[in-house]
Amino acid sequence: MRCIPISDKQREQEWNISRKELMEIVEIGILSEVEVEQIISSDFNPNRCGFENKGEIWVENILHLGISPAKLVEIMKGRFISSGGTIFEGKSLSNISVHDDIAVSKILLFSS
């Protein structure tokens, strides 16, 4: 059985990435182009970078996309479950023991 604990506190702040970096993720099969478009929440190109006592410069295609971590987690969660994985939301991972042929995790299951 494959399983993963997920925190009940999802981060809502966008994560920044370039389109080139996202396309590399598509090329290796982690996300599809359609999924990439679903997770993009902002595009700010060109982008102003400021440096203390050095002034400002404008750059293009560098960390210019904001992606939604909540949407990304939802896509990956769906894929993980559909491939037979189990997710324990809101549970605590207390220990992982790694052996040559297996990894064993200890998950604390609390009932509310």
**Domain coordinates in residue numbering, the chain:** 2-108
Residue 94 has pLDDT above 70, yes or no: yes
What amino acid is encoded at 91 in this protein? K
- Tell me how far the alpha carbon of residue 26 is from its chain's centroid: 14
Burial profile 60-88: b = 16 or more Cβ within 10 angstroms, e = fewer: eeeebbbbbeeebeebeeeebeeeeeeee
CA contacts within 13 A on the Cβ side of 102: 4
Please tell me the predicted confidence (pLDDT) of residue 13. 82
**Ranges of H-type helices in the chain:** 19-27, 33-39, 69-82
pLDDT bin (cut points 50, 70, 90) of residue 9 is low
Residue 1 has pLDDT above 50, yes or no: no
Report the predicted TM-score, pTM, of the whole model to 2 decimal places: 0.69
When mean pLDDT is compared across 29-33, 87-91, 93-97, 104-108, the lowest value belongs to 87-91
